[in-house]
Each structure stands twice: as C-alpha cells, then as structure tokens.
Structure 1
Amino acid sequence: MPRKILIANRGEIAVRVIRTAREMGIATVAVYSELDRNALHVRLADEAYALGGETAAQSYLNTEAILDAIRKSGADAVHPGYGFFSENADFAKAITEMGVAFIGPPPAAIIEMGDKVSSRKAALRGGAPIVPGTTEFVNSAEEIIAFGKENGWPVAIKAAFGGGGRGMKVVKDAASVQEAMDSAKRESKAFFGRDEI
C-alpha cells in the first residue's frame, strides 16, 4: 500500500481521493494552478505544490510540473483523478519509469483503450456489439455530414482522447456540424491537450 499519494487533479475528485486516503492512513499531496491556490483540495491535503499557470494546459496538463511535484514530495503513488492525465499513456509511463505507482490502468491498456478510435477497433476485434461509428480519426465536417446522411441523425461528435463528456457534442443536422466539431476540438484541446475527433 502506498504511503503518500499525489493527486494529479483538482476539485471534487481530488477531495474524494484525499478523504479516502486519509481514512486509509495514507498521506496526500495536492497540486494546484494559481487560480486554485485556495481551493478545498489544496487545504485538505497534507502537502500542496504549485504547478504555475492559470489554465489547465499551463498547470494540470503540465507533465514536467507534476513530475517535479512528485519528486519534491516523495510521493510513491499518483492518482490521476478523472480527465486530465487519467487516460494519458505517456504520463502513466513517465510515472512508472520513476518507480512511482500509477493508480490506474497500465500504460499498454491506456494506449489500447485510451482513445475512441483504438478502443472501437479493439471492441470490433473482440466481437463486441457497437453502435455505428468511425474507426479512424475524423478530419473534416464533410466526413461527419456523410456519416450522418448514411447512418442517420443525431450524430455524436466525440473527442478521441476525451472523457467525462468533455469534447462531446450532439448534432441533429448537417447545418450544425462545423460549429459543433470546432467546439469539440477546442474543448478537447483545453481539457486533454489533444484535439483529435
């Protein structure tokens, strides 16, 4: 069992991990952006380290800043929470290469299931029933419109590397596709550091 967990996230999920770890007698380390300096997860944790920056990309998605906080804190485990790094194989690999436990699936599983395209392919290989969708990244609104015409509306436009509903838009007709696609890409880039759909 770990003795000290760094939570690479913020908000309610970080608070839940901190409270559960406390019940188990495990020390906790919070990380935070400048905007979250006084957030509840920062106040509840045994230790807290500033990541710098104000946006998610500048802070909670800053791999080097989080790795530095792990080194400084001496944490022997990292809980990614939801979103951010929870489905990032490179982050999980960097953690495990440091000799620190990643509380989540191993990097190979994240690679296989971490994006919607490769997970669809894995499901198809396994014979799982799935709804119609793409097995390659979508690069244009025209591809989505063609898919909608062939399979019917509404169509869900999903961030390939997203989760938790972030980067997902539902369109009911061709006229809505471009705006929804652009919005999904922006949201995905802001929350997950990638904008493939």
Structure 2
Amino acid sequence: MIGIIGKKIGMTSLYDSKGHKKACTVIQGGPCVVTQLKTISLDGYQAIQLAYDDKKEKNTTKSLMGHFTKASTTPKRKQVEFRCDDADVWQQVALGQVVRVEDVFVEGEFVDVIGTSKGKGFQGVVKRHGFSGVGGRSHGQHNRERAPGSVGACSYPSRVFKGMRMAGRMGGHNVKVKNLKIMRVFPEKDLVVICGAIPGANNAYVILEK
C-alpha cells in the first residue's frame, strides 16, 4: 500500500537519537477499508480507493450504501483514491481488505502529508501577504499602518492585473507537506507520530502518502 487516510489528533514533542527535542504531530491512521479497485480496462487508470471513519447508515445515500455493501463494510465518511501502477502492490490488495498503519509505514521513513489548512476568513494584506503597511501616522493621516497602498493602475493599464496581492479570503486550501519523518508507530492504537507540523485543525482528515 502506498498511503492511508487519517485524522489529526494534536501535537506533542519527542527526543530523537541525538537528544534533540522535536515538535511532532500525532495522527490516527486508519484502519481503512479498500472499497474499490479501479483498473485501466474499466476506468482508464489504476487506483486503490480507501474509506475511513464510520458514519450512520441513515445519513448515507442508497447508491453509496450499495458501494460499501459490495466491499462488505459499513458506511464511511471519507473516501480517497491512491494512484498505483506497482504490480507488487496490486497483488497484495483485495476488495474489502482492512489496511492498518503497520501495513503501510515503519519508523524512520519519510512521508508526504496532505491536509486542509485552517480557514482565516477575510484578511488584509498585512496578515495575508506580509505587507508592512504604508507607513507611520503623519499630520492629517491616520490608520494607515496596515493599508495596502497603491495597486499601480492609472490611465494605463486602466485595470488591475490578475493575481495582484490584495485583501481576501485566507486559508482553507489543500496543502501538501513533503518529506516528514515518522518518529513513532503505535500499531495497537493505530497512531503515527510525525516530526513537524501539518496543515489543518485537530480532528481534521489528512492523507499520508509514501
């Protein structure tokens, strides 16, 4: 298997082999269920679909209930596809198979983590882009410390260029953090401890990839 779905639990700290204290993130990784195997002949590409986190049957549509029943599992909240062209991985995967942390990761290897960053709402240019503001107050001028300043649109080009850094909604984006080291794996509790911070709030879904 090349990845797993998890949930961010929170942060802690661990000491590495050199005695250095490292900030770490604790992730509840799985257990996940293989709910679909997509093939080139039927779907045009090869992928393994995993599902995670139980939910009530009354909150599941009939079409999804049939999808989960085919995999002999209960309804799930989160479904993710992992593209996979490795023949060795395909031989080890079957529909309805339960995938756990110890089946995918070992201590010491590096993984990529995908999550949704915290939404900050509508923010100004100082918080959103790190602007310094127009400057200090002067005579007849006030509340300019966090102003964006000129956007450079005069008689030419008579418009604002696309991509101009201005105030707007901040956060709530899919963010991928690469090459984070796995510090600990606790198979009995399905926990993974990763060195470093990952995007998202506590209890948010994350995707771990090799």
Q: If you compute each CA radius of gyration, which structure gives the higher value, 1 or 2?
A: 2
TM-score, reference length from structure 2: 0.26
Question: Whose RCO is larger (CA < 8 A, sep 6+)?
Answer: 2
> Counting strand residues as a fraction of each chain, which structure ranks higher?
2
> Counting helix residues as a fraction of each chain, which structure ranks higher?
1
